[in-house]
A and B are shown apart, each in its own frame.
Chain A
Amino acid sequence: MTTSAAPPTVLGDLSREDLLDAYRVMRTIREFEERLHVEFATGDIPGFVHLYAGEEAIAAGICANLRPDDWVGSTHRGHGHAIAKGCDVKAMMKEIYGKRGGLCKGKGGSMHIADFDLGMLGANGIVGGAPPLICGVGLSAKMRGTDQVGVAFVGDGGSNQGTFLESLNLAAVWNLPVLFVVENNGYAESTSSRYHQKGIDVAKRADGFGLPGVIVDGHDFFAVYEAAREAVRRARAGGGPTLLECKVSRYYGHFEGDQQTYRAPNEVEHIRQTRDCLTRFAERVTTTGVITRDELDAIDRDVRALIDDAVREAKAAPDPDLADLVTDVYVTY
């Protein structure tokens, strides 16, 4: 290859369209979360929100390897997973505002965003809640003989829950087509992993259950994408579960309003400047000439307009009324 060659149209096995999609997903998550950070402070949003900003490369890198009929089980920090799995951003925003027209009709809020039609099993207020659910998904796929896979996201705090370790065991025993993705952002709520976790690497816990445990840089879309590609391929082929630990940082507190006195001064600023996933991704795709800066700027504008509309429509949407109170609550079998 020489410098005079035409710009490449692919990066590895990713086409221009794949790369633009990945950037759009990450930018949408970032813009969604940055906007919520501002809007939450106004007091208009009921309940808690836990922002995913900083961790976008994980959701995007994992979900780029998934099909619409694959399943994702999420965490309390679930907006990024929902967006990457294809959930409607405007309906998500309405859900967070508790409005009719929300993805769960405005009755679930941030921590219960779900869309079963898209394989999004839901954000989950239970720490370590997704791994047992995903074992069920995996068993279902295995018994029905499909090649669907399930992905359970969990944090470093969640990785200390019995549910997580029991699920590693169950997935290994049943050889399930699942991934356990640990988003290790270094804090269980406000407790540093140095205090809450034995050993710095959650991935090593896979050894005890006989499944592969791999660590990647969670700020790097390509690192996550590549490892997930192999883990998903392995799961679809009957090779069983994988534990994938993504080392990452969150840009905001555990929840909005968290004063973060447990973090070092300038900790977040340093990460934003040196390891931001969007900056790194943009630099690689533009310096290689596959994508132009103008194309990325156009996505930035589209996304900003989308989030503006989503917030405006969410604010204007009606609340659920009294008649909605008990719908979808009771089920007759």
Chain B
Amino acid sequence: MPATVGVIANPASGRDIRRLVSGASVFDNAEKGRMIYRLLVGLGAVGVEQVLLMPAGAGLGESLERNLRAHHTDPHPPRLPALTTLDMPLHDGPEDSALATRLLVEAGVAAIVVLGGDGTHRVVATHCGDTPLCTLSTGTNNAFPQLREATIAGLATGFLATGQVAPERALRQEARLTVQVEGATPREELALVDVALSTDPWIGSRALWRAEAITEVIVAFAQPGAVGLSGTAALVDPLPRGAGEALYLRLADPATAPLVVHAPLAPGLILPVGVAEWRRIAPGQAVPLTPALGCLALDGEREIELTPADRATVWLRSDGPRTIDVDAVMAHAAAHGLLRAGRLPQAAQGVE
């Protein structure tokens, strides 16, 4: 099979109520289309031969198409991989990303590049198995994917897909949080960054933005540079990604809490958050949440409505998705001269 990479770009990410309450960023679909083009340039430059793309609707595909047409008029165009769109129906919901992930895994792609927010990555991670992910954030409100230039992400993904950089060097094993709810409607879900218990009595407009509504939090990592619950938890006890532990926090009214942090809860929103207690959580250790009327939020979005009769438990597991460490791959590529003249596959240099 030729070196093949899958691409999933969510055309619908980033429209929740945070645009209204905290001035959160908007991300244009035309830019997502341009990102895919730049990604193709990076992938093609290091010898990826084929890209399988989830059908790109909503102006995203048209933007990509315009860039590809311009590409064909270039007298010395960069080499691009052959682009094939997956044959699948679209429902304009998360089920599209889920189905595309399953199709890409079946097709045996070397990696999947995901353009979206924490929510899109959560859906892809649920279905991707061992297939590595290159995670690209399309907005500022994310902790799991990174805001990064797609050209470089394409190069790094291409180095892995073509075998020029070994998986042991290129990939990072991510953790995940498993949430199990027992009650009238039992279910099990995955979160990549955080699980929060909110007193908001309904899923409603999904986003978490009122600090006083959040009572308990578990984060898979606590990054001081992140926005949201991961960044908030980091102000209490920083926990690097891949540390092998999670962090549990019980929040309280800032007026009486023993510790108060001024937390960047969402873009444009820094609020006092009271912390009553916190502790590290080992993999496999069950964390039962206090039964309550409220909601469980996964990766910053309210997803599951709870009644006091429901029992929710969270575990940290070390078998999350494998992701491409773009910085590590590019450092390796630079140190070993992978982008020096004469080192790339001939086809990738345009010398057919």
Interface residues of A in 200-238 (CB under 8 A from B): 200-201, 203-204, 207, 212-216, 220, 222-223, 225-227, 230-231, 234
Q: Is the CB of A201 within 8 A of B202?
A: no
Q: Does B287 contact A (CB under 8 A)?
A: no
Q: Does A316 contact B (CB under 8 A)?
A: no
In this complex, the member of A11, A207, A212 whose beta carbon has the largest number of chain B beta carbons within 10 angstroms is A212
Q: Does B291 contact A (CB under 8 A)?
A: yes
For B29, give its contact among A11, A199, A225, A226 (CB under 8 Å). A199
A1-B291, A222-B203 known; A200 vs B19 contact (CB < 8 Å): no
Q: Is the CB of A8 within 8 A of B293?
A: yes
> In chain A, what residue has the closest Cβ to B93?
A247
Interface residues of B in 249-292 (CB under 8 A from A): 290-292
Q: Does A167 contact B (CB under 8 A)?
A: no
- B residues near A223, Cβ cutoff 8 Å: 202-206
Q: Is the CB of A199 within 8 A of B21?
A: no
Chain B residues touching A, range: 20 to 34
Q: Does B70 contact A (CB under 8 A)?
A: no
Q: Is the CB of B12 within 8 A of A200?
A: yes
- B residues near A8, Cβ cutoff 8 Å: 201, 293
- B residues near A1, Cβ cutoff 8 Å: 290-293, 308
Q: Does A124 contact B (CB under 8 A)?
A: no
Q: Is the CB of B203 within 8 A of A212?
A: no
For A220, give its contact among B21, B203, B293 (CB under 8 Å). B203
- A residues near B184, Cβ cutoff 8 Å: 287
Q: Is the CB of A204 within 8 A of B29?
A: yes
For B201, give its contact among A3, A204, A245, A288 (CB under 8 Å). A288
Q: Does B16 contact A (CB under 8 A)?
A: yes
The smallest C-beta distance from B25 to any residue of chain A, in angstroms, reads 10
A3-B291, A207-B26, A284-B305 known; A199 vs B58 contact (CB < 8 Å): yes
For B307, give its contact among A200, A204, A234, A287 (CB under 8 Å). A287
Q: Does A331 contact B (CB under 8 A)?
A: no
Q: Does A143 contact B (CB under 8 A)?
A: no
A215-B15, A220-B203, A288-B307 known; A234 vs B293 contact (CB < 8 Å): no
Interface residues of B in 297-352 (CB under 8 A from A): 305, 307-309
Interface residues of B in 34-69 (CB under 8 A from A): 57-59
A222-B203, A222-B204, A227-B17 known; A207 vs B28 contact (CB < 8 Å): yes
- A residues near B290, Cβ cutoff 8 Å: 1
Q: Is the CB of B308 within 8 A of A2?
A: yes
Q: Does B20 contact A (CB under 8 A)?
A: yes
Q: Does B11 contact A (CB under 8 A)?
A: yes
Q: How far is the CA of A170 from the CA of B184 in the complex (A)?
A: 50
Q: Is the CB of B203 within 8 A of A201?
A: no
Q: Does B92 contact A (CB under 8 A)?
A: yes
Q: Does B200 contact A (CB under 8 A)?
A: yes
Q: How far is the CA of A2 from the CA of B291 in the complex (A)?
A: 6
Q: How far is the CA of A234 from the CA of B21 in the complex (A)?
A: 9
The smallest C-beta distance from A307 to any residue of chain B, in angstroms, reads 28
- B residues near A225, Cβ cutoff 8 Å: 204
A2-B308, A199-B59, A200-B57 known; A230 vs B201 contact (CB < 8 Å): no
Q: Mark B150-164, 1 if CB is under 8 A from A, else 0.
A: 000000000000000
The smallest C-beta distance from A199 to any residue of chain B, in angstroms, reads 4
- A residues near B309, Cβ cutoff 8 Å: 3
Q: Is the CB of A216 within 8 A of B205?
A: yes
> In chain A, what residue has the closest Cβ to B23?
A212
Q: Does A329 contact B (CB under 8 A)?
A: no
- B residues near A214, Cβ cutoff 8 Å: 15-17, 19-20, 205
Q: Is the CB of B204 within 8 A of A220?
A: yes
Q: Is the CB of A198 within 8 A of B293?
A: no
A223-B206, A226-B205 known; A198 vs B308 contact (CB < 8 Å): no
- A residues near B12, Cβ cutoff 8 Å: 200-201, 215
7 interchain pairs, CB-CB under 8 A: A3-B309, A12-B201, A201-B58, A203-B15, A227-B17, A284-B201, A289-B307
CB-based closest 9 A-B pairs: A222-B202, A215-B15, A226-B204, A11-B201, A199-B58, A222-B204, A199-B59, A200-B58, A212-B19
Query: Given contacts A215-B12, A226-B17, could you give 14 more A-B pairs where the C-beta distance is less than 8 Å?
Result: A1-B291, A5-B308, A204-B15, A213-B19, A213-B26, A216-B17, A222-B202, A222-B203, A223-B202, A226-B202, A227-B20, A227-B204, A230-B21, A245-B15
